[in-house]
Amino acid sequence: MTIHYPNGHQYHPRPSRLRHTNQLDSISHADRGMSLEQAVNESNQYYRARNKAVIHKKPTPIQIVDVSYPKRSAAVIREAYFQAASTTDYNGIYRGHYIDFDAKETTNKTSFPLANFHAHQIQHLRDCFQLGGICFALISFKPSNELFLLNGPDLFSAWDLQSQGGRKSIPKKQITQKGYALPYRFNPVIPYLDAVDKIIAAHKGEKNEF
């Protein structure tokens, strides 16, 4: 099936790079045969099943322009277009707070390229944050099998610096210092709400309290 962006450019999905499960490493989403997206989705299902949070992956609306019917009982989509530029991957509610975030991976060992984000995604997160939402990015360093939650304000600062002639990436050391390390577990696979609890606690007592 051919899918196009709103500007007409063809969409080329990135191939999945999953590690073999027989590697002797710490427990991770890769060891369990799942991508980062699958690990986040499974974690969200775990949270929903226990009535802890309702967070879903946002569907991306597409416009179908070509369909064939090789069989009467089955239709095959041959060509489609994204109707609009996507914002972020996930949103929902936790402890009465609106949650909005994206999950990104990098093969870089020492930094996270800001090119992984689009300007409209950062603006969306910024808009939600300014209205009181809790916004962040889950950043995975694949070579070291490490995952961090970087809070919105820290992500925005790094993004703004690059437009002022600063770095076009966030050093891993900075993410380690300012972000929250998320060790992989059995259930939930990614316990990112533990870090969200810390973000909520850090804002208690401030003038614009969450």
* Annotated binding residues: 87, 89, 102, 121
| Residues of each annotated binding site for Mg(2+) | 87, 89, 102, 121
Helix segments in 29-150, DSSP class H: 36-49, 119-130
At residue 115, φ and ψ (nearest 5 deg) are -65, -10
Beta strands in 152-194 (DSSP E): 169-171, 180-181
Cα 178 from Cα 206, distance rounded (Å): 19
The Cβ of residue 141 has, within 10 Å, a number of other Cβ atoms equal to: 20
| Residue 32 near residue 46 (C-beta atoms within 8 A) | no
Query: How far lies 198's CA from each of 14, 96, 126, 192, in Å?
Result: 33, 15, 20, 10
What CA–CA distances, in Å, run from 162 to 100, 174, 186? 23, 15, 37
How big is the chain, counted in residues? 210
Contact 33, 22 (CB under 8 A): no
